[in-house]
Structure 1
Amino acid sequence: MVTTDIKRQLVIIGGAEDKEGDCQILREFLRRAGGTKAHIVIMTAATELPREVGENYIRVFERLGAEKVRIVDTETREDASSSTALKAINDATGIFFTGGDQARITGILKDTEIDEAIHQRLAEGVVIAGTSAGAAVMPDTMIVEGDSETNPRIEIVDIGPGMGFLPGVIIDQHFSQRGRLGRLISALLQEPADLGFGIDENTAMVVTDNQIEVVGEGAVTIVDESDATHNNIDEILKDEPLAIFGAKLHILPNGYKFDLKTRQPILQNASIADSSVPVGSANS
């Protein structure tokens, strides 16, 4: 559960963010990272096409006015100890993880010198962003892979260690577009986390300390199982349907906020206590 007063800035993107038009989400990240004085590092560990993907983001951030943008390409764990890469991390005002395969990010970077350096920079106020796979790695436990468009079952999702930038939650991406509510609930019930966040494409949850604001054209779906009265996870086999009673569901579009400590949506600086809807209560 996220309850500590940690100083942090994260921009967690559901994938397929706009890179050609207004670039609302990437613009928000760059503004928080220093605007025209920003030094951006593009982390390409997730992708097998680091130069192509990295240069695409370089073009976007340079067009928006960043002072300096560079790629840190780590193909092996040995690269994660590179003095050049570490210097780039230490000089950055914003660090951006691209999409690809989230298991590549943790396999290459977790528990390395770069991992330690990024966590230190986060504590110092550097903005960390990630899209798609780069969003999946934000919690301390992440969804590695799983089935979409299906009902919750233990077997439909694989979970593993994430990077731990936002502990105590579960995050899924491409959420509405790929019908991932079932796998988010499946992952949430298997882990000691109360909150699951499903982020739509071209949508971001922007975390400032313990508050989230939604930015973009879609929504962030929040499943809160902290007050759930029942689930059957200890009673079923891995291919059998999961049940859950009394969980809460919040849908937050652009501009809406959420408090991670109180686990309540925020509107005009007031907690909306009656804005939650039990999962499965909608008319069919």
Structure 2
Amino acid sequence: MLHKLLLCLLLASVFLFPASAQDAARTQGTLIPIGGGYKTLHNFVEAALPYWQTLNATHFTMLMLPPAFSYNPYQFSQQELLDNSYLADLRRSQLEESCRDVLASHNIDGVPCRVIVPPVYTREAAQSSLIEQFFTADLAAIYFLGGDQINAMNIIANTRLEQAIAQAFQRGVPLGGNSAGAALLAQPMIAGYAPEYDQNNALREGAVNLWNQPDAGERGLSVGAGNALIETHLWELGRVPRVLNLLSFDDAPHLVIGIDGSTGGVLQDETIFRDVFGQYSAAIFDGISLNASENASFSANGVLSIHNVLIHLLAPGDFSFNLTTLQPSWTDHLVNAERDFSAFEKPENTGDLYLYGSAPPSSSFPDNAGTLVLLVGYPDAAQLANTAEQYAGDRQIVSLLAGDQLAEVLPEGTALSDYGFIAVIGGDQSLINIEQLQPVAEAWRGGMTVLLGGAAAAAAGQTYVANPAVNFVTGNAGVLEAHSQGSFIVGGTILRRGLELINLNIEPRLIDNNRFGRLFSLAFNERSVQALGLPADTAVRFTSDGAFVQGESAAFVLDLSESTLGVGANNAFVIANALLDTYPASERIEAIHP
């Protein structure tokens, strides 16, 4: 009877007073969020080592918590238990091996590494009175496995397990994890996309879910960071649109720590984000300093319009960010920005210019004998034929192959000047030949209306990325990683001079082909030139009245003109004070001052 009474009192303390533990713990402690993957386990141990050295322990003991592995917070089959126990044990052995390697590198001998995986796959398990036995006095660190952060928090929130985690954190035990295990290290927790949404339409109102209802148990850890969100797989999965959408939320911090896969960092005392480690970079998205979040809105068709988002990229090295003062360590952050958008003004006497993020719909330009369609940069005859069929009609369709001269492939007796509209549709930027397109550039400078779609749109600017196209369905993991994450490494992109029609650099298919690294590479390598990112279903029309956005998504403008640039120890870009804007359909691209 006494045992039942004590149990009831303990559970009541957990359910009735979760906020007090949260408030007490939030100001001090070490969080180690990792964007994804298990290549950085040794870095996690390195970050936990200083606390372990205060313990005078005979073992290096860590807990590896698997709730994010769960498929259902309320029930778990024997088969699921076996499957997840096998996978968790694999990760356990990897962490133990990393621990041994780290201790050896510090000449620490005779200390066994011990990683324990409590089988907490349901909420019932998280409520067990046995939970406390895993949280020993010599516990050096806690690592949360990746998976599903919603399932994880449905298991953890307001339980004995969370109480034990909070008590360990309060005495100094570092908390870390990757992917979902990192997302839950923020108390207001990113909870994925809403149904029917993904990265391709993440700029739309209602596309992103945020758990920030502590009273309802919808949140991250009670001791998680309260002044910033934590986004994972940042560059790897192209989550920039999701981050921007979150910055528009009224009930969320307007500061996001974005961490790429195979990359992590240390958030100390909810104040300093430091010691980035791994292969790539992390980013701070600041919607506060220049009022980006306060002034954000959604267009008539529900697409995000947000301006003057301040972004800082951090890589391994002596780079940190203060979440309280909003200062990067290596320079002052912008408190005002005089934006110059003169590059979006069409030069005098030139024709209208359309830039499409992908091959435009056939209905987007005239279907008559006065329209010339040039197909360039297609890797094989089948793709070329399919594109030609898409634009079949009364238009004149011409394929410009390697080695061709434009004048030689036009119908006999015709010249470019015989047409009133020229559309150049490109397949692969690596196959674009700028010299072949110079006659089109001259026609435009003489007043001809020109449309450049897909790969051809990239050629309109000063410089373009000439890396081969990748297929996210058939491409192997190494190629995709080099494309999406490797583009943030110095030398990760091939850059060529463009047609120089406008003083911009352009990256098409920005979202659907995850080309944010290419966009940043363009801006990093030519800081004085703004980079224009065009999603597949979006276009910009340059007229004498200005540059206007068309389509279903938004145009992105990345501006590094006031940035401080550097390079991390891993050769990843380091950037302070990048500015990012989105312009949905019907908006004119112009400076929006803070």
The bucket for the TM-score relative to the shorter chain is: 0.7 to 0.9
Q: Please say if 1:59 is aligned against 2:119.
A: no
Pairs within 5 Å for 1:192-207: 192-207=252-267
The answer on whether the counterparts of 2:202 and 2:208 sit within 8 Å (CA) in structure 1 is: no
Partner of 2:146: 99
Partner of 2:204: 153
Q: Please say if 1:166 is aligned against 2:186.
A: no
Q: How many Å separate the matches in 1 of 2:164 and 2:59?
A: 21
Partner of 1:257: 320
* 3-state SS of 2:116 partner: strand
* 3-state SS of 1:93 partner: strand
1:150, CA displacement in angstroms? 4.4
Partner of 2:308: 246
Partner of 1:186: 245
For normalisation by structure 1, the TM-score amounts to 0.86
| Structure 1 unaligned blocks of 5 or more | none
Q: 2:45 aligns with which of 20, 27, 33?
A: 27
Pairs within 5 Å for 1:118-137: 118-137=165-184
1:62, CA displacement in angstroms? 2.2
Q: How many Å separate the matches in 2 of 1:33 and 1:133?
A: 24
The answer on whether the counterparts of 1:9 and 1:208 sit within 8 Å (CA) in structure 2 is: yes
1:108, CA displacement in angstroms? 0.4
* 3-state SS of 1:52 partner: helix
Q: How many Å separate the matches in 1 of 2:51 and 2:168?
A: 12
Partner of 1:272: 332
The answer on whether the counterparts of 1:171 and 1:184 sit within 8 Å (CA) in structure 2 is: no
* 3-state SS of 1:212 partner: strand
For 1:8-39, what per-residue CA distance to the aligned partner results, in whole angstroms no more than 9, with x for missing partners? 111100001316xxx54233244245278321
Q: Please give the root-mean-square deviation of Cα atoms over the aligned residues, in Å.
A: 2.4
* 3-state SS of 1:201 partner: coil
Q: 1:208 aligns with which of 268, 272, 280?
A: 268
Q: How many Å separate the matches in 2 of 1:5 and 1:260?
A: 14
Q: How many Å separate the matches in 2 of 1:40 and 1:264?
A: 33
- Amino acid of the structure 2 residue aligned with 1:117: A
Partner of 1:231: 295
For normalisation by structure 2, the TM-score amounts to 0.43
1:90, CA displacement in angstroms? 4.2
Q: Percent identity?
A: 25
1:89, CA displacement in angstroms? 2.4
**Range that drifts further, 148-157 or 177-186:** 148-157
The answer on whether the counterparts of 1:30 and 1:94 sit within 8 Å (CA) in structure 2 is: yes
Q: How many Å separate the matches in 2 of 1:218 and 1:198?
A: 12
For 1:92-119, what per-residue CA distance to the aligned partner results, in whole angstroms no more than 9, with x for missing partners? 2211100011111110011111112211
Q: Which has the higher contact order (CA 8 A, sep 6+)?
A: 1
| Structure 2 unaligned blocks of 5 or more | 1-24, 71-82, 101-111, 212-218, 335-575, 583-594
Partner of 1:86: 132
The answer on whether the counterparts of 1:15 and 1:132 sit within 8 Å (CA) in structure 2 is: yes
- Amino acid of the structure 1 residue aligned with 2:151: R
**Range that drifts further, 75-84 or 179-188:** 75-84
Q: 1:111 aligns with which of 158, 165, 181?
A: 158
Change in CA separation of 1:252 and 1:150 when aligned onto 2, cut-off 3 Å: farther
Partner of 1:42: 64
Change in CA separation of 1:83 and 1:263 when aligned onto 2, cut-off 3 Å: same
State the structure with more CA Rg: 2
Change in CA separation of 1:33 and 1:201 when aligned onto 2, cut-off 3 Å: farther
For 1:183-232, what per-residue CA distance to the aligned partner results, in whole angstroms no more than 9, with x for missing partners? 01112321331211211011112112221111111111111011315534
Change in CA separation of 1:236 and 1:123 when aligned onto 2, cut-off 3 Å: farther
The answer on whether the counterparts of 1:32 and 1:127 sit within 8 Å (CA) in structure 2 is: no
